[in-house]
Copies of this chain bind each other. A is one copy, B any other.
Amino acid sequence: MPNKKKYNVDGDAGRKAQIQFADQKQEFNKRPTKIGRRSLSRSISQSSTDSYSSGICLTSSSDDETSPRDKQQKNSKGSSDFCVKNIKQAEFGRREIEIAEQEMPALMALRKRAQGEKPLAGAKIVGCTHITAQTANRGVALISLSVPGFPVFAWKGESEDDFWWCIDRCVNVEGWQPNMILDDGGDLTHWIYKKYPNMFKKIKGIVEESVTGVHRLYQLSKAGKLCVPAMNVNDSVTKQKFDNLYCCRESILDGLKRTTDMMFGGKQVVVCGYGEVGKGCCAALKAMGSIVYVTEIDPICALQACMDGFRLVKLNEVIRQVDIVITCTGNKNVVTREHLDRMKNSCIVCNMGHSNTEIDVVSTVQHREGGTASGFGAFPPQGRLLNLSCSTVPTFVLSITATTQALALIELYNAPEGRYKQDVYLLPKKMDEYVASLHLPTFDAHLTELTDEQAKYLGLNKNGPFKPNYYRCGSCGH
């Protein structure tokens, strides 16, 4: 196996996590949204050596003040091609991963299926993402599509400088060059564009899962600067519904309860934004007996809020009376200083959006990021400053995202010449459906199959896709 890479570390530049397969690497790291950067809660590291027997490691919050960058660590296989806080906790991490597998049936099914096929054989993937037990497992699953073992560069409490150092360490490796990018936020892609543009010659595609990253890709595409195909995983139906609607429906309750122990019944709440996230929050709070108001800028979403039983207001109209303000807009300065000044004393402000821009008092807002870029910030206008930690993201949700990513990688990597151009693509509907179908056994759900006669009547293939391509939002019945 020729993958005896040695990679130079560009000390003051940046470094990244890597994931490697048989003769390739796959790097993982994550640069969350600006505020969230400091909140990476757990990091995982696994060495990638010739033998690829792995050494997984989860750092705990230790009192060790030495920067991981300055430590000399080796995993159980003797490799030091990684950078984490404490490789000795690898065994604990591995066990957490095994637990997480229980709730990731689809990924397991995919992994099992792939054992024969090895659809990513030859792929050299560099990745940048959040590292938790779940995303670690994601990595494990990806590895198993090919070979085990990949290096990780990540730790809790990375500085911005650390963050870029990790990214660079993943990319700038002697004797090894990625041919696939798995990004979450666009920072890894951005880095390669900026520092190693020639790398794109060998790269077959980018898989991006975040709103921000997708936005950047469309801008690149519009400007004619996108030089490889990119798969917009963020906008796949399954990811959207689960990451946003269903996940937020549960996590809004969990997050508020953990941090405030408040009772929801009878509380007046205003939810800013009635997209999937807002819909999830509203549904949950209404079900728990809160009185919910909604603000919106888009008349279509506004009309939906009306029909779902929520008073559509401007924030000013209710700011004096509400007990909770929840922002789910992706916009900036939705809650302003003026609003904060007019709130009740005990009012809780909670950010469910993607970044901390929604609340215009950055310096006083504590933000702690959770799973899929949805965090809680709380700013009690007078009185105590609450540092709200986000609720956790159910493993099941991550399973859906990870499966979608894996399929996107496989699709891009194996697509015949010409299927994908230098553009941004949505995952083919059939793959969305495949991701969904892999998750049905969890619910003991029994899908009905079309008879030949029915398939013919509907003009559909019995195996899908089941919705025409001309369908767009609101018309496909999802």
Contact = CB atoms under 8 A, between A and B. Distances in A.
Interface in A398-446: 424, 426, 432-434, 436-437, 439-440, 442-446
Nearest to A471: B473
A257 interface: yes
B284 A288 contact: yes
A282 to B, nearest CB: 12
A441 to B, nearest CB: 11
Given A250-B264, A309-B286, A257 B476 contact: no
B467 A263 contact: no
Contact of A321 (B236, B288, B444): B444
A204 interface: no
A332 interface: yes
Interface stretch (A2-10, A26-34, A111-119, A453-461): A453-461
Interface string A332-353: 1100000000000010000000
A466 interface: yes
Given A473-B474, A473-B476, A291 B311 contact: yes
Interface string A168-188: 000000000000000000000
A263 B297 contact: no
Given A266-B306, A473-B475, A433 B218 contact: no
A446 B238 contact: no
A223 interface: no
A453 to B, nearest CB: 7
Interface string A239-252: 01110101101100
Interface in A274-302: 274-276, 278-279, 283-284, 286-291, 295-302
Nearest to A313: B446
Interface residues of A, number: 114
A448 B250 contact: no
A330 B470 contact: no
A123 to B, nearest CB: 26
Interface stretch (A76-84, A155-163, A193-201, A387-395): A387-395
Contact of A250 (B235, B263, B302): B263
B257 A391 contact: yes
A212 B235 CA distance: 28
Contact of A331 (B237, B288, B397, B454): B454
Given A474-B473, A475-B473, A478-B474, A300 B265 contact: no
A307 interface: yes
> Oligomeric state, in number of copies?
4
B394 A304 contact: no
B333 A470 contact: no
Contacts of A444: 268, 321
A11 interface: no
Contacts of A321: 444
A450 interface: yes
A71 interface: no
Contacts of A276: 477
A27 to B, nearest CB: 27
Contacts of A232: 470
A249 B275 contact: no
A250 B308 CA distance: 12
B309 A433 contact: no
Contact of A312 (B305, B315, B446, B450): B446
Contacts of A225: none
Contacts of A446: 312-314, 317
Contact of A235 (B237, B253, B263, B475): B475
30 contacts: A235-B471, A238-B474, A250-B288, A257-B257, A261-B392, A262-B394, A262-B396, A263-B396, A265-B307, A265-B308, A266-B307, A266-B445, A268-B443, A268-B444, A279-B477, A286-B309, A288-B309, A289-B309, A296-B447, A298-B433, A298-B466, A299-B464, A313-B446, A317-B446, A330-B458, A331-B454, A331-B458, A472-B476, A473-B474, A474-B476
Given A286-B309, A300-B436, 15 more contacts: A236-B475, A253-B254, A254-B258, A261-B392, A278-B477, A283-B287, A297-B447, A297-B448, A302-B440, A306-B445, A311-B445, A332-B457, A333-B451, A333-B454, A467-B473
Closest 4 CB pairs of A and B: A275-B477, A287-B287, A237-B474, A235-B475
